[in-house]
Amino acid sequence: MIKKNFLTGEYVIFSLDRAKKPQNIKTNILTTPIKFCPFCIENKKMTSEPIYSCFNDEIRLVYNKYPIIVSNEENYGVHYVLIDTKNHEKDIINYTNEHMFYLTKSIKDILNMLYEDEKLKYVQIFKNKGINAGASQSHSHWQILGLSILPNKQKYMINVLKEYEDKNQKCYFCNIDYSENLVSENSEFVAFCPDDSLYCYEINIMPKKHITNIRYLDDYMLEQLGKILKKCLIKLDLMYNNIDYNICIYSGFREEDEYHFFIQIIPRMGNLAGFEFSTGMFVNSTLPKDAAKFLREI
Ligand SMILES: [Zn+2]
Ligand SMILES: [Zn+2]
């Protein structure tokens, strides 16, 4: 069965027999020695002074020492690292609810801060955990990239969402029937496996209300977002201990580009290779409904 992903236009082949293929998804565990870890509080001299901090310096925003984009005459951009714990060994799944609240609040505060910079058209917040997800440091952190251009993927997404809304008089996300794809929910948020998931066991988290940017969340909603994010990561960890993953936050940045915001969690189970790179098509070996049922019951 081949499906077209609504938001990106990319094709995904559901190839259920592939799941039977023997695989070893866990090969290397990334561990940086504390002595060389720039994100440990005792090594804070290895990074810039924090541009933002909260929760008693547990969470700090610093400049990325090796930025993807450097501002010069032709380009403009910013690249920060959000260190979300002082503790080298701690992982999100061990954070308290209070810690999770400050994590989501720091993301809101940083988006507000970057919003003041009129040269930025788009801000991408993401987290790479583990070697398979592209991380180079084992100490928990996020990356925040501000760009002076809107990426093509976001342009495409905004266009299809606008088209959908014009045609249906309703937001695409508000209209999703996630009942069979539900992973977890609370009063404000829902986590589900989208029917057109490009990635095996992909989870999306979105607000139940039509909210277009994390900047608009109040404290109660930030708390609920922190709780559901942690819950989803615990479920993935129970599925495969110490699983690598990427988290991507899709939150409209400028008002004209806003849509129902969502967070995508992509477990890295080794499914990106030559076929995906050459065709731009994806292979998913688990039906999202089955993945959701498995994660819901874990
Ligand atoms: Zn560290
Ligand atoms: Zn909506």
Q: How many whole angstroms from 84 Cα to the centroid of ligand 1?
A: 11
Nearest ligand atom owner, CA of 86: 1
Nearest ligand atom owner, CA of 174: 2
Tell me, what's the pLDDT at 27? 57
Q: How many whole angstroms from 91 Cα to the centroid of ligand 1?
A: 11
Question: Is the Cα torsion angle 220, 221, 222, 225 positive or negative in sign?
Answer: positive
Question: Is the Cα torsion angle 30, 111, 75, 150 positive or negative in sign?
Answer: positive
Total residues found in the chain within this entry: 298
Q: How many whole angstroms from 86 Cα to the centroid of ligand 1?
A: 7
Nearest ligand atom owner, CA of 40: 1
Tell me, what's the pLDDT at 71? 84
Task: Please state, in angstroms and rounded to a whole number, the distance separating the CA atoms of residues 72 and 265.
Answer: 33
Tell me, what's the pLDDT at 232? 98
The 10 Å CB-count burial string (b at 16+, else e) for 51-80 is: eeeebeebbbbbebeeeeeeeeeeebbbbb
In this structure, are strands 52-54 and 245-250 parallel, antiparallel, or unpaired? unpaired
Tell me, what's the pLDDT at 287? 96
How confident is the model over 239-249, as pLDDT tens digits?
999 999 999 99
Nearest ligand atom owner, CA of 165: 2
Counting as low any pLDDT under 70, the low residues of the chain are: 18-28, 271
Task: Please state, in angstroms and rounded to a whole number, the distance separating the CA atoms of residues 225 and 92.
Answer: 13
Q: How many whole angstroms from 40 Cα to the centroid of ligand 1?
A: 4
Residue 117, φ and ψ in degrees, nearest 5: -85, 105
Tell me, what's the pLDDT at 156? 97
Q: How many whole angstroms from 217 Cα to the centroid of ligand 2?
A: 14
Q: How many whole angstroms from 173 Cα to the centroid of ligand 2?
A: 5
User: Average model confidence (pLDDT) for the chain?
Assistant: 93
Q: How many whole angstroms from 139 Cα to the centroid of ligand 2?
A: 35
Q: How many whole angstroms from 141 Cα to the centroid of ligand 1?
A: 10
Nearest ligand atom owner, CA of 262: 2
In this structure, are strands 282-284 and 11-14 parallel, antiparallel, or unpaired? parallel
Tell me, what's the pLDDT at 26? 57
Q: How many whole angstroms from 177 Cα to the centroid of ligand 1?
A: 41
Residue 185: strand, helix, or coil: strand
Nearest ligand atom owner, CA of 42: 1
Domains held by the chain: number = 1
How confident is the model over 82-104, as pLDDT tens digits?
999 999 999 999 999 999 999 99
Q: Which domain holds residue 247?
A: 2-297
SS (H, E, C) 27-48: CCCCCCCHHHCCCCHHHHHHCC
Residue type, 165: E
Q: In what order do the strands lie in the sheet with 245-250?
A: 52-54, 59-63, 77-83, 141-147, 122-129, 245-250, 262-267, 203-207, 189-192, 182-185
How confident is the model over 147-171, as pLDDT tens digits?
999 999 999 999 999 999 999 999 9
Nearest ligand atom owner, CA of 190: 2
Tell me, what's the pLDDT at 254? 93
Angle at 152 (CA atoms; ends 272, 225), nearest 5 degrees: 70
Residue 126: strand, helix, or coil: strand
| DSSP letter string, 45-85 | GGSPPPSEEETTTTEEEEE-SS-S---SSS--EEEEEEE--
Q: How many whole angstroms from 116 Cα to the centroid of ligand 1?
A: 31
CATH of the domain at 193: 3.30.428.10
Q: How many whole angstroms from 272 Cα to the centroid of ligand 1?
A: 29
Contacts of 39 (CB under 8 A, 6+ apart): 47, 81, 83, 88, 137, 139, 140, 141
Q: How many whole angstroms from 104 Cα to the centroid of ligand 1?
A: 21
Q: Do 178 and 203 contact (CB within 8 A), yes or no?
A: no
